[in-house]
Amino acid sequence: MTKSKFYLVAILVLFTSFGLLNAQSSSLFSYEEYINTEGDSLKYRQLISDFAIETKYPLVVFLHGSGERGNDNEAQLKWGVKNFAISEIMSHYPCIVIAPQCPEGMSWGNFYRDSTKTKLLKPEPSKPMKLLIELIDKTIKNLPVDTNRIYITGLSMGGAGTFDAITRHPDLFAAAVPVCGLGDTTKASEISHIPIWIFQGAKDSSVNAVISQQMVNALTHAGAYPDYTQYPETGHFSWIATYSDKMMMNWLFNQRNK
């Protein structure tokens, strides 16, 4: 076998193996749908990485970005969330994960721009966010959730949704990991008690790094101690490194409501 053919075979094997692992991770997430009393629905995927009757498990809420909106109940697994289904993570940090899918034309966060172009939170949540909070309540009632260890994370549009959720429900979440998201800096004092680790790409042309930096500054000014990681050579896809970061996973699962 020539060297070039050897490399080609190696690459094919690598991509085949990755595809099999990717498919295996996806299969661990069950297909679910939440329907409320008004008939509104939210599709989601659910991972239960372990189960013991006497044990309560942390709940991880994962919010996808704008590119994964739809109703196939598949696309939201494209980025990040399957890292929670890796054997090493499941064995070290058994948990329950819910990954809802936002419908087309809608958003997790509900913000508006004021006269200075500052993003501010609207009084009412978006419809998907309202359904998400209802879904979290349902999950708490039906599954062995440790209510002192409910975490939320999301990327891009999901990062904005993460800030939206913790601002509207500051006593619900034990920690938050927004990735290249945005939030209402004027409400930083309302979430200053929540452990937050913000991730951002320095070369992000979709969500400027200044937006994340402004939130870090607002939280710090409000007396918080937010963690902030900025990848110097990364654009918008900062979530690839974020959800592969074992230190982040360890930090997240060690947070508890006080």
Residue 236, token pair as written in the block: 């918008």
Judged against a pLDDT cut of 80, whether residue 1 lies above it is answered with: no
What is d(CA 141, CA 131) in angstroms, rounded to the nearest whole number?
A: 15
Residue type, 125: P
Q: Which residue has the tokens 């006497």?
A: 54
Domains in the chain, start-ordered, CATH in brackets? 31-253 (3.40.50.1820)
What is d(CA 99, CA 24) in angstroms, rounded to the nearest whole number?
A: 17
Judged against a pLDDT cut of 60, whether residue 152 lies above it is answered with: yes
- Position 60 scores a pLDDT of 98
CA 169 vs CA 6, 57, 162, 173: distances in Å: 55, 20, 11, 7
pLDDT digits 0-9 by tens, 84-126: 999 999 999 999 999 999 999 999 999 998 877 788 999 999 9
pLDDT category of residue 22 using cuts at 50, 70 and 90: low
- Position 172 scores a pLDDT of 98
Judged against a pLDDT cut of 90, whether residue 10 lies above it is answered with: no
Phi, psi for residue 193 in degrees, rounded to 5: -85, -10
Percent of the chain with pLDDT over 70: 91
pLDDT digits 0-9 by tens, 37-89: 999 999 999 999 988 889 999 999 999 999 999 999 999 999 999 999 999 99
With a CB cutoff of 8 Å and minimum separation 6, the contacts of 226 are 196, 197, 198, 215, 216, 219, 220
- Position 26 scores a pLDDT of 80
- Position 7 scores a pLDDT of 41
Pairing of strands 57-63, 41-48: unpaired
Judged against a pLDDT cut of 80, whether residue 11 lies above it is answered with: no
Q: Length of the chain in residues, anyone?
A: 258
What is d(CA 22, CA 108) in angstroms, rounded to the nearest whole number?
A: 26
pTM of the predicted model, to two decimals?
0.90
Percent of the chain with pLDDT over 90: 84
